[in-house]
Amino acid sequence: MTAVWKFRDGALDLGSRVRVMGIVNLTPDSFSDGGRFALPDDAAAHARRLAAEGADLLDLGAESTRPGAQPVAPETQIERLLPVLERLADLDVPISVDTVSAAVAARAIAAGARIVNDVSALRDPGMAEVVAGTGAGVVLMHLRGTPATMQDDPRYGDVASEVAAWLGERQRAAERVGIAAEQIVLDPGIGFGKTAAHNFELLARLGEFAALGRPLLVGLSRKRFLSEGGALLPEQRLEGGLAATAIAVFLGARVIRTHDVAATLRAVRIAQAIADRRRSSFEAAGESASLDSRAPRPTP
Half-sphere exposure of 254 toward its Cβ, with a 13 Å CA cutoff? 21
> Does the annotation mark 194 as catalytic?
no
Q: Could you tell me the smallest distance in angstroms from the CB atom of residue 61 to ligand HH2?
A: 5
Kindly state whether residue 123 participates in binding ligand HH2, applying the rule CB under 6 A.
no
- For the bound state, the minimum distance from the C-beta of residue 283 to ligand HH2, rounded and expressed in Å, comes to 32
Amino acid at 126: G
Beta bridge partners of 141: 187
Q: What is the rounded distance in angstroms from the CA atom of residue 244 to the CA atom of residue 235?
A: 16
Q: Which of 205, 222, 223, 237 is catalytic?
A: 223
Pattern of binders to ligand HH2 over 39-68, x per CB under 6 A?
----------------------x--xxx--
**Residue number with CB closer to ligand HH2 (181 or 278):** 181
Residue 124 near ligand HH2 by CB under 6 A: no
Taking the least distance from each CB to ligand HH2, the nearer of 8 and 237 is: 237
In the complex, what is the shortest distance from the CB of residue 7 to ligand HH2, in angstroms, rounded to a whole number?
Answer: 14
Stretch that binds ligand HH2, among 1-9, 26-34, 106-114, 202-210 (CB under 6 A): 26-34
Measure the CA–CA gap between 269 and 299, rounded to whole angstroms.
32
Do 158 and 191 form a contact (C-beta atoms < 8 A)? no
Of 22-30, 81-89, 171-179, 271-279, the window that binds ligand HH2 (rule: CB under 6 A) is 22-30
CB of 22 to ligand HH2, least distance (A): 11
Among 139, 167, 253, 261, indicate the residue that binds ligand HH2 (CB under 6 A). Answer: 139
Binding residue (CB under 6 A) for ligand HH2 from 19, 27, 37, 95: 27
To ligand HH2, the closest distance from the beta carbon of 281 in angstroms equals 32
User: Least distance from C-beta 279 to ligand HH2, angstroms?
Assistant: 26
* Burial environment of residue 138 by CB neighbours within 10 A (0 to 12, 13 to 18, 19 or more): buried
Phi-psi category of residue 34: left, alpha or beta, with phi > 0 → left and psi -120 to 50 → alpha? beta
Binding mask 214-253 for ligand HH2 (x = CB under 6 A): ---x-x----------------------------------
Binding-site size for ligand HH2 (CB under 6 A) equals 20
Backbone phi and psi for residue 255, each to the nearest 5 degrees, phi listed first: -135, 130
119 makes contact with ligand HH2 (CB under 6 A): yes
CB atoms within 10 A of CB 139: 24
Q: Is 36 a binder of ligand HH2 (CB under 6 A)?
A: no
27 vs 77, beta carbon nearer ligand HH2: 27
What is the DSSP track for 157-193? SSHHHHHHHHHHHHHHHHHHTT--GGGEEEE--TTSS
Is 6 a residue of the active site? Answer: no
> Using CA atoms, how far apart are residues 243 and 232, in angstroms rounded to an integer?
15
CA nearest neighbour of 54 among 276, 268, 234: 268
How crowded is residue 153: how many other Cβ atoms within 10 Å of its Cβ? 7
The end-to-end CA distance of the chain, in Å, is 28
Residue 244: closest CA among 200, 296, 276, 295 = 200
Which residues are near ligand HH2 by CB under 6 A? 23, 25, 27, 30-32, 61, 64-66, 98, 117, 119, 139, 141, 187, 190, 217, 219, 257
Q: Which residues are catalytic?
A: 223, 257
